[in-house]
Amino acid sequence: MPHRLHFPDPRAAADAATFASRATRLGDGAVRLQASGGTLLMTCAPLAPRGLLDGTPTVLGLRVSAVDPELVTDIVVDGTALVMSEDPTALELPDVAVSAPWAGIAPPREGWAEATTLDAATIAARAQWGIAAVAETVPRDAGEDAVRTVRASVWGPADAALSDLPLGVAFAAFGLGFIGGAETVSLRTAGPWTRLTFRRGHVLVRGPVKSGLTPVRTTGATA
């Protein structure tokens, strides 16, 4: 495992550290790092099921950045360990990797078809509604299982305002800081996956394609 991730400038390194920090507050806190050809994909799972009876959808957050072109790696690490080094253009890496079941469910890199668009303000509003709904529903001193049940009941169902995608896509976009102002968000599909593309990153959800997400043309955009 490499000991550092080297970026082209301090801003890129700081952005990667911010993504890792936000990922630690959502989901299991793990971050998958895939690097090759000078491109780094950082993926986390703000929402993912635990067990067959868990109704939580698989919702991933993805940030793409330029990185050392000689770096080739595919590892999953604890997001808390991805911190700035004394070199402002690099992040420290832990000595060991971690395991994350969602990391074995990879969305495709190519073959995405444009489906529709959403307004970022709508996504933010739905995220805030869901956060309030979870806070109001979770009992005081609730255990982990009770909290997960409530979260699944709020974030799992399809939301009409989000083209029938799970409300959890709004939670992921909001929690990872992808919503930064007025913006039209593109939705694309590839097989069972749907991807929402923001200026600051991507949110991906795995599930059946809804009637409101009929592909209109195929693109070669990467995930």
More confident residue, 27 or 157: 157
Q: Based on the domain organization, do 72 and 138 belong to the same domain?
A: no
Which of 87, 104, 121 finishes a domain?
Answer: 104
Q: Based on the domain organization, do 143 and 196 belong to the same domain?
A: yes
Q: Based on the domain organization, do 84 and 164 belong to the same domain?
A: no
Q: Based on the domain organization, do 39 and 133 belong to the same domain?
A: no
Q: Based on the domain organization, do 97 and 123 belong to the same domain?
A: no
Q: Based on the domain organization, do 8 and 76 belong to the same domain?
A: yes
- What confidence tier does 130 reach under pLDDT thresholds 50, 70, 90? very high
Which of 78, 104, 130 finishes a domain?
Answer: 104
What is the side-by-side order of every strand in the sheet holding 59-66?
73-78, 30-36, 39-47, 59-66, 201-206, 193-198, 184-190, 112-119, 217-219
Which of 104, 136, 160 finishes a domain?
Answer: 104
- What confidence tier does 213 reach under pLDDT thresholds 50, 70, 90? very low
pLDDT at 49: 87
Q: Based on the domain organization, do 116 and 141 belong to the same domain?
A: yes
Is-contact 202 62, C-beta < 8 A? yes
Q: Based on the domain organization, do 24 and 95 belong to the same domain?
A: yes
pLDDT at 96: 87
- What confidence tier does 218 reach under pLDDT thresholds 50, 70, 90? very low
Minimum mean pLDDT range among 77-86, 138-147, 175-184: 138-147
pLDDT at 181: 84
Q: Based on the domain organization, do 89 and 116 belong to the same domain?
A: no
Single-letter amino acid, residue 90:
A
Q: Based on the domain organization, do 167 and 201 belong to the same domain?
A: yes
pTM over 0.75: yes
Domain that holds residue 60: 4-104
| pLDDT over threshold 50, residue 134 | yes
More confident residue, 77 or 143: 77
| pLDDT over threshold 70, residue 135 | yes
| pLDDT over threshold 60, residue 1 | no
Q: Based on the domain organization, do 91 and 140 belong to the same domain?
A: no
Q: How many domains are contained in the chain?
A: 2
Mean pLDDT within 199-213: 74
Q: Based on the domain organization, do 55 and 129 belong to the same domain?
A: no
User: Token match 């039209």: residue?
Assistant: 184
